[in-house]
Amino acid sequence: MTSPIWTPERTRQLMTLWKEGRTAAWIARALGPGVSRCAVLGKVYRLGLARGPEARRVRTVLTSLQTKPPRKAVSIDRLASRPCAASKSKAGVAPSAAATETPSGPTATVLSVGFGQCRWPYGVPGEAGFGLCGRSVARGAFCAAHAAVGYQKRPISAESLLRMAGLG
DNA sequence: CCCTGATTCGC
DNA sequence: GCGAATCAGG
């Protein structure tokens, strides 16, 4: 219970995330406090996993999204307790029309998503079925419905987020 | 300087 | 096998 050992579970996660094109540091942070970037790189090297040119593309996409793993463990609580700026006048736009049009699943992947396509994630990165919304961008990185959720200044309930990610 | 992955090397 | 240190590169 003490040593940060490469359990089969962790190794599995490592391989999946690595194949998705995540960086070593990203994976290290995602796997928890006990795992360093060096540990990830060392393990990857030992496993003989290789980076293809395709993975490089993925990383570029992720970088452009400024995707960052949670600093500690993956936690839904963080979603619910997002501080978010208080802000004075402009509350988040929450068009009721958009809510009714909320897409219900991914049409793109981190590999296929391109400019002008909504980056809203469905599912859990590293797990089967993970994908991105992929519908036409309305604002920033998201389609109208997801921008209404992603860009609102007030915190949103974890339940709502999970539902929109197809995890509810 | 920040970051990246690759490789080495002592444990 | 493990991971810190170190390497070369962007």
Rg (CA), chain A: 17
Contact between the CB of A24 and strand C at under 7 Å: no
Give the tens place of pLDDT for each residue, A83-129.
333 333 334 444 444 444 566 889 999 888 888 999 999 888 877 88
pLDDT (tens digit per residue) in A27-75: 888 777 778 887 888 888 888 775 644 444 454 455 445 444 444 333 3
Specify the pTM. 0.43
Greater model confidence, A102 or A153: A153
State the virtual CA torsion across A44, A46, A52, A55 in degrees, nearest 10: -10
Q: What residues pair up with A121 in beta bridges, in sequence order? A: A132
* Structure confidence at residue A136 (pLDDT): 93
Distances, alpha carbon A8 to alpha carbons A5, A21, A78, A126, in Å? 9, 20, 27, 15
Whole-angstrom distance, CA of residue A134 vs CA of residue A123: 14
* CA A145 to C1' B11, whole Å: 54
Confidence of residue A9 (pLDDT cuts 50, 70, 90): confident
For the segment 40-99 of chain A, residues whose CB is within 7 A of strand C: 41-43, 46
Q: How far is CA A86 from CA A30, A89, A154, in A?
A: 28, 10, 8
Nucleotide nearest the Cα atom of A40 (by C1')? C3
Nucleotides of C under 7 A from a protein CB: 1-6
